[in-house]
Structure 1
Amino acid sequence: MKYGIIGAGAMGFRYGVLLQELAHQPVDYVEIWEPNLKKVKEQGGVYVSRDHEGRHLVKADIYSPEEYAAKGGDPDLWIIMVKQMDLQNYLTRCADAGLFKDHQVVFSAMNGWGHFEKILKYFPKERIYGGTAMVASAFNGPGDVDFIGKPGAGTMHICAMTEEVTPVEKEFVADLDKTGFNPQITQNFRGTCMAKVIFNSVINSLCTMYQITMGQFVSYPGYKDMATQLINEAYDALERSGFQPIQTRAKAIEEIDYVSRVANPLHYPSMYQDMSKGRKTEVDYINGYLAKVGRENDCPCRVQEFLTHGVHVAELAFQVHKKEAEEKAKAEVAIAK
């Protein structure tokens, strides 16, 4: 099966590189961020590390949407891995270039919730698959990624939007199984996707606010109490809205512990990576979304509401401190002269 990756970032390259190297499948990358597109072309590929070690160049065929259309690019399955706030721009460029075809299917395991309503404008639900990706990657800069965690330590779920198991889904899972993603097919679409939203509402937000790694977070003796508050709020709101996540509350806490303590203890979540690079975070699509579900179903999620604001304050504080540090450095240089 031929794969097309929309969004050549930390997760896009993780899926693409492993499908190339371990499943031995053809992969093309479609990117609209010019610095990344230019750098990967200049290098002839992407530099890949594993836990900050073994940096090496991996061949990557990367194109803008328009270049890919001119080449006649036509993958069987699109994997979409971009930031929620950037998704519409990617989809519009790809659609305008004529890249979306009737025989193609699409899979996304993006953080947060809100992407499927956009994808539905271009693909019918019969050709859409969603899921979770409990793996970690860091985007060091254009053309440079770091896969965090030991090979095979991650897990993921995949579910058809129709909740029917299909031949293409089985073929996709067979390829993913070779990559060490440890995929599992489920038949509860929203419940499956919500598992990652709930996970991120704890790990991404708290690690970002306190600027710590996942391993550092679970080393705090009270982390389980904090996680339980957030998980209970999320489950209460989702169950009130008529949806049941695919795992129990206790299992959700176990997953936070395992992924943070064993699989990815050195990882700074993507939300922190965004904040530290001056980009907007996806907190409104994670904690903010769960808070919205609570408001709409008369089930207030007060801690989720608080964390949504808390991360935005952390974004502001980070920029203030960065500016102060820059001004101090300039002043010290001026004095030295």
Structure 2
Amino acid sequence: MKFAMIGAGAMGLRYGILLQEAGNDVTFIDTWQPHIDKIREQGGVYVMRDHKDRHLTKIKLETPETFDGHPDMFIFFTKQMQLQDYLDRCSHFFHEDQYAFTAMNGMGHIEKLQKYFADDKIIGGTALIATVLPGPGEVDFMGKRGAGKMNMCPLNEKPDAMCQALFDELQKAKMNPTLTDDFTGTLMTKVIFNSVINTICTMFELPMGEFGNFKGAYQMGRQLIDEAYDICARADIKLVSSRDEEMAALDHNTRIDMPLHYPSMYQDMIKDRPTEVDYINGYIAELGRKYHYEASTHLFVTQAVHLAEFHRQNLAKQRAIKAKQEAPAAQTA
């Protein structure tokens, strides 16, 4: 198959490189100039797995303005707040026969994709796969080959030949896909999962295992999960796992599968990028309001993450002021 990967960040590189290694034609499309410059300078991306075996992998890289191909499918892996800009800049090479697949974190992206692609050509997904972008031009796949898993479901909940072809290629790429039959329930189940792990680990700057081994982790996670599940019940959203199954998945993922991993939201915050908390906990809270349910814990956590962002921004300003004040003194000495 011919793929165009919209967004060559951590997850975009992991999906795209593994699909490339499985024999597919993959072109990456990105807008982050330092990343683009480094990849072109190196002749590819340096790939590691669990910080080891660093090696150069050649990839085809374009910007929205230079790409003129006609892939079978676009795979979207941008941040929620970046997606609209990518869509606007890429829209000139979208065609009616092409499909769009995404396994982005949070909610809000599907409605944006619907403005450019027909409902029967949109496939949504979720990924429990850890990947880190240490800096421009390099990526670190966390976990052994075949680690992690994902769910996928077409928006119209009617898998066609192209959906099956995508499933087959993801299977060859060792992404461990599962084809589900409830689109909204599939996506919301992952949003709820992230509303615990991503936000708590980001607020306190913790690796996932440290949270998982904290004696109060179950109570904290259960409070967030119960609120979200209560809201989904009011909204008639059928989640793909029960509350107890979600708690068990959280426990296993944090303590067993990826104890040393820092979630993507944390990675954004420490690099002074906006987090996606408004599209995760904030989305759950807004959905609650729609159905007359005040999700007080999710509202609190949303603001707590924003407070952590605000605090880091203030620290950066203070360091900049201090450095400016000390500079003349150092020159005089």
Query: What is the TM-score of this pair, normalised by structure 2?
Result: 0.96
- Corresponding position of 1:10: 10
- Corresponding position of 1:150: 144
- TM-fit CA distance, 1:180: 2.1
Once the two structures are superposed, residues 36-93 of structure 1 have per-residue CA deviations (whole angstroms, 9 ceiling, x without a partner) of 2222122111111111222111111000122112xxx111111100011110010011
Q: How does 1:291-306 map to 2 (within 5 A)?
A: 291-306=285-300
- TM-fit CA distance, 1:150: 2.2
- TM-fit CA distance, 1:104: 1.0
Residue 7 of structure 2 aligns to which amino acid in structure 1? G
SS in 2 for 1:221: coil
- Corresponding position of 2:49: 50
- Corresponding position of 2:256: 262
Equivalent residue for 2:277, pick from 251, 271, 283: 283
1:10 and 1:137 in contact (8 A); partners too: yes
2:75 is equivalent to residue 76 of structure 1: no
Supply the distance in 2 between the matched residues of 1:265 and 1:334 (Cα, whole angstroms): 45
- Corresponding position of 2:162: 168
- Corresponding position of 2:85: 89
- Corresponding position of 1:240: 234
- Corresponding position of 2:62: 63
SS in 2 for 1:226: helix
- TM-fit CA distance, 1:17: 0.7
Residue 38 of structure 1 aligns to which amino acid in structure 2? D
2:99 is equivalent to residue 105 of structure 1: yes
Equivalent residue for 2:220, pick from 204, 208, 226: 226
- TM-fit CA distance, 1:322: 3.0
Residue 97 of structure 2 aligns to which amino acid in structure 1? H
Q: How does 1:122-133 map to 2 (within 5 A)?
A: 122-133=116-127
Gaps of 5+ in 2: none
- Corresponding position of 2:310: 316
2:209 is equivalent to residue 215 of structure 1: yes
1:150 and 1:263 in contact (8 A); partners too: no
- TM-fit CA distance, 1:326: 4.5
1:6 and 1:30 in contact (8 A); partners too: yes
SS in 1 for 2:56: strand
SS in 1 for 2:139: strand
1:151 and 1:180 in contact (8 A); partners too: yes
- TM-fit CA distance, 1:233: 0.4
SS in 1 for 2:105: coil
Query: What is the TM-score of this pair, normalised by structure 1?
Result: 0.95
1:148 and 1:266 in contact (8 A); partners too: no
Supply the distance in 1 between the matched residues of 2:81 and 2:253 (Cα, whole angstroms): 26
- Corresponding position of 1:195: 189
Supply the distance in 2 between the matched residues of 1:33 and 1:157 (Cα, whole angstroms): 28
SS in 2 for 1:243: coil
- TM-fit CA distance, 1:179: 2.0
Please tell me the root mean square deviation across aligned C-alpha atoms, in Å: 1.4
Deviating 4+ runs (over 6 angstroms): none
Once the two structures are superposed, residues 245-289 of structure 1 have per-residue CA deviations (whole angstroms, 9 ceiling, x without a partner) of 111111111111222222222211111111111111110000000
Rate the CA distance shift 1:214–1:274 in 2: closer, same or farther, 3 A.
Answer: same
Residue 148 of structure 2 aligns to which amino acid in structure 1? G
1:81 and 1:109 in contact (8 A); partners too: yes
Gaps of 5+ in 1: none
Once the two structures are superposed, residues 149-169 of structure 1 have per-residue CA deviations (whole angstroms, 9 ceiling, x without a partner) of 222220100000000122211
Supply the distance in 1 between the matched residues of 2:66 and 2:117 (Cα, whole angstroms): 22
Aligned residues: 331
1:157 and 1:183 in contact (8 A); partners too: yes
2:252 is equivalent to residue 249 of structure 1: no
Once the two structures are superposed, residues 154-209 of structure 1 have per-residue CA deviations (whole angstroms, 9 ceiling, x without a partner) of 01000000001222111111111122211000010000011111111001100000
SS in 1 for 2:67: helix
Residue 277 of structure 2 aligns to which amino acid in structure 1? V
Supply the distance in 1 between the matched residues of 2:172 and 2:256 (Cα, whole angstroms): 21
